[in-house]
Amino acid sequence: AMEEVCARFVSQKISKARWRPLPAAVLQPPDLFATGSWDNEDNRISIWSVGDVGNAGLNGEYQGEPQLLCDIRHNGDVMDMQFLDQERIVVASSTGSVTIFRHHQNNQTLSASHQWENAHYHADQYTACGGAACTGVICSNPEIVTVGEDGRINLFRADQKDAVRTIDNADSSTLRAVTFLRTTEILTVNSIGQLKIWDFKQQRNEPAQIFSLTGDRVPLHCVDRHPNQQHIVATGGQDGMLSIWDIRQGTMPVSLLNAHEAEMWEVHFHPSNPDHLFTCSEDGSLWHWDTSTDISEKPSFLHQGGRSTAYISHSTINQSVVSAWLSNDPTKDRMEITNLIPNQTLSVNTLDVLGPCLVYGTDAEAIYVNRQLFA
């Protein structure tokens, strides 16, 4: 089943890849995605279409590599990237700036439509020295939240020049990633293994709640919230472990799952099918975690990974999706873990899932699209 994946070699290391969101009520699979690069002399934001669907092969499989529609230079490494809407992309830079790029679909060009220059910066009492990397960005149009190496949290609005709110010393360590919990609440993860909830309705600049990994203070790199069960959160970090948290109870993770052999760079629940979760790592792997309850009825494509597939049988048939993620050890119940790219060697830095489609990008200067995730 591996030939469902189309590769495109690009002359830059890809740090972020994101599907363009589909308009509400549109049922077709996503057709455009954006990428950002890092560690190149000339970093770029690029918009791609997913190959030539018109030229379906005999079995209806799609052919053709992703096609570059347009690109634009980006100052600094792309640290994070999120679509704000159909046309605008918010990009976090290692220089500390946050830029909104607009994709003009009539003539296929990209332009910078707005920039918050030193959104993140290091400063001591003697110098207002340079920027601090903006490490994470999350959008809920028109709101944009950014976090950075400077321990700062910014709340921007797409149409306003100045920050709506800034929490200057939100964290004494590096903030690595951020996600929305609810309209006014965000969740951050930091480099000493802590999750913090912040409520913008509160005027004080203190977290509403703090959670932490026990013991080792392992730096956390990524976080995602379950799309329907807002109290369920997944994080990953330097040790490659997947942690599942229930923010209604306790201050520690509900489960710690052995995952990758090196840093986990991104974790994403499938937005419309959240019993599926995806993680990618510095070790060159991209794992599909499946807690759905009908594994026995699935076609054998899940075993495509050969010996890298750990198939775990299941005790109780009526395990609900939610309790599968929240049981003390989801793997004891029903979970199947498949490495979707068994032979990759260099870091898989980013992934995104939407509908039946997966996109991921690597340090091997390639982007990959799988349009039949659940085939």
Strand partners, 312: 335
In order, the DSSP letters of 77-101 are -EEEEEESSSSEEEEEETTS-EEEE
pLDDT at 323: 55
Query: Cα–Cα distance between 369 and 360 in angstroms, integer?
Result: 7
| Phi, psi angle pair for 302, to nearest 5° | -65, -15
Where are the chain's structural domains? 6-293+336-370
pLDDT at 177: 98
pLDDT < 70: residue spans in the chain:
1-3, 52-63, 124-129, 293-323, 327-334
What radius of gyration do the chain's Cα atoms show? 20
pLDDT at 61: 53
Question: Can you read off the two tokens belonging to residue 48?
Answer: 């791609």
Q: What is the pLDDT of residues 238-285, one digit of tens each?
A: 999 999 999 998 889 988 899 999 999 999 999 999 999 999 999 999
pLDDT at 127: 55
What CATH architecture does domain 6-293+336-370 belong to? 7 Propeller (2.130)
pLDDT at 317: 31
Percentage of residues of the chain with pLDDT beyond 90: 70
pLDDT at 25: 80
Residues 6+ apart with CB under 8 A from 27: none
Q: Which amino acid is at 194?
A: Q
pLDDT at 358: 96
The structure tokens 């001591």 sit at 124
Within a 13 Å sphere around the CA of 37, how many CA atoms are in the beta-carbon half? 24
pLDDT at 295: 46
The answer to whether the Cα torsion of 130, 133, 139, 145 is positive or negative is negative
Query: Cα–Cα distance between 273 and 227 in angstroms, integer?
Result: 9
pLDDT at 308: 37
- The number of angstroms, rounded, from the C-alpha of 348 to the middle of its chain's C-alpha atoms is 12
CA distances 214 to 88, 195, 247, 252, Å, are 39, 12, 15, 7
pTM across the whole model: 0.88
pLDDT at 60: 52
- Helices and strands (DSSP H and E) totals, the chain: 2, 29
Query: Cα–Cα distance between 57 and 347 in angstroms, integer?
Result: 31
pLDDT at 320: 43
**What is the helix, strand, coil percentage profile of the chain, to 5?**
5, 45, 50
* Of the candidates 94, 199, 99, the residue with the CA atom closest to the CA atom of residue 149: 94
Q: Which amino acid is at 291?
A: T
Percentage of residues of the chain with pLDDT beyond 70: 84
Q: 3-class DSSP state for residue 301?
A: helix
Q: What stretches of the chain show up as alpha helix (H) in DSSP?
A: 321-326, 330-333
The structure tokens 């080792």 sit at 216
Question: Can you read off the two tokens belonging to residue 213?
Answer: 């990994």
DSSP letter at 253 equals: -
pLDDT at 52: 64
pLDDT at 113: 96
